[in-house]
Amino acid sequence: MAKMTVNPNYCKGCGLCIAACPKKIIKFSAKINAKGYHYAEVEDQASCIACKMCYQTCPDVAITIEK
């Protein structure tokens, strides 16, 4: 099973990972990080296929993919 995590301290809430995800399992968190942004988070970890599209599009290197 793949695991996708977002470091909320690095995420600026641009939404590029949300648009890039083919499974549409990433959404904005209801929480706000220290910079004042709603950061991205995975809503259905079990559906992640580790395609790394989110990782490749993230300009802030806030995403980690583990297999």
Task: State pTM to two decimals.
Answer: 0.91
pLDDT score at 51: 96
What DSSP designation does 41 have? E
* Count of other CB atoms within 10 angstroms of residue 47: 12
* CATH code for the domain in which residue 40 is found: 3.30.70.3270
Whether 1 has a pLDDT exceeding 80, the answer reads no
Token output for 47? 């559906």
Tally of CA atoms within 13 A in the half-sphere of 47 that contains its CB:
9
pLDDT score at 53: 97
- The count of domains in the chain is 1
pLDDT score at 2: 87
Domain containing 39 equals 3-66
Q: What ranges in 1-67 are assigned the alpha helix state H?
A: 16-20, 53-57
pLDDT tens across 6-40, in order?
999 999 999 999 999 999 999 999 999 999 999 99
**Cα separation, 58 vs 35, whole angstroms:** 17
